[in-house]
């Protein structure tokens, strides 16, 4: 019996035998934040610097904005790397739903659960 048990153990792979590449498990972050947040920070700093006018005060304001906001979003990304995506998605959800549908109400729009692939 022991030989049969040992033979079946040899055929099944060990739990550590399958290696998953780290890029499949780690979130994609730019400078510690999600890519859309990094683009938004850069665009806002650029708009503050060059859209308002190239002055010392706007440069100081843009640097302060980037350091404070970036630090907050790095902390948010450390808690949950997809927090801002989740927040933006939650804005489409209503706070209150009626308990029953009205007579004139059509079926609700079907929204995909996954974003479209580009």
Domain ranges of the chain: 30-92
Alpha carbon distance 109, 99 (integer Å): 18
Q: What confidence score (pLDDT) does residue 73 get?
A: 93
Give me the pLDDT at residue 108, please: 78
Over residues 27-41, mean pLDDT = 91
Q: What are phi and psi of 85, to 5 degrees?
A: -65, -40
What is this structure's pTM? 0.60
Determine the pLDDT at residue 26: 85
pLDDT of the residue at 12: 60
pLDDT top residue among 94 and 67: 67
Closest of 53, 29, 24, 27 to residue 39, by C-alpha: 29
Assess whether pLDDT exceeds 90 at residue 16. no
pLDDT of residue 92: 85
Comparing 25-29, 33-37, 78-82, the range with the smallest average pLDDT is: 25-29
Task: Look at residue 111 and tell me whether its pLDDT is greater than 90.
Answer: no
d(CA 106, CA 85): 29
The average pLDDT across 40-53 equals 91
């Amino acid at each position: 019996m022991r030989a049969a048990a040992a033979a079946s153990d040899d055929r099944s792979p060990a739990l550590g035998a399958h290696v998953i590449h780290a890029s499949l498990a780690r979130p994609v972050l730019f400078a510690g934040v999600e890519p859309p947040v990094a683009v938004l920070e850069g665009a806002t700093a650029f708009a503050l610097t060059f859209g308002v006018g190239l002055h010392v005060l706007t440069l100081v304001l843009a640097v302060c904005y980037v350091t404070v906001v970036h630090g907050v979003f790095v902390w948010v990304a450390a808690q949950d790397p997809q927090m801002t995506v989740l927040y933006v998605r939650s804005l489409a959800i209503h706070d209150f739903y009626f308990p029953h549908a009205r007579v004139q109400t059509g079926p609700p729009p079907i929204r995909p659960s996954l974003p479209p692939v580009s």
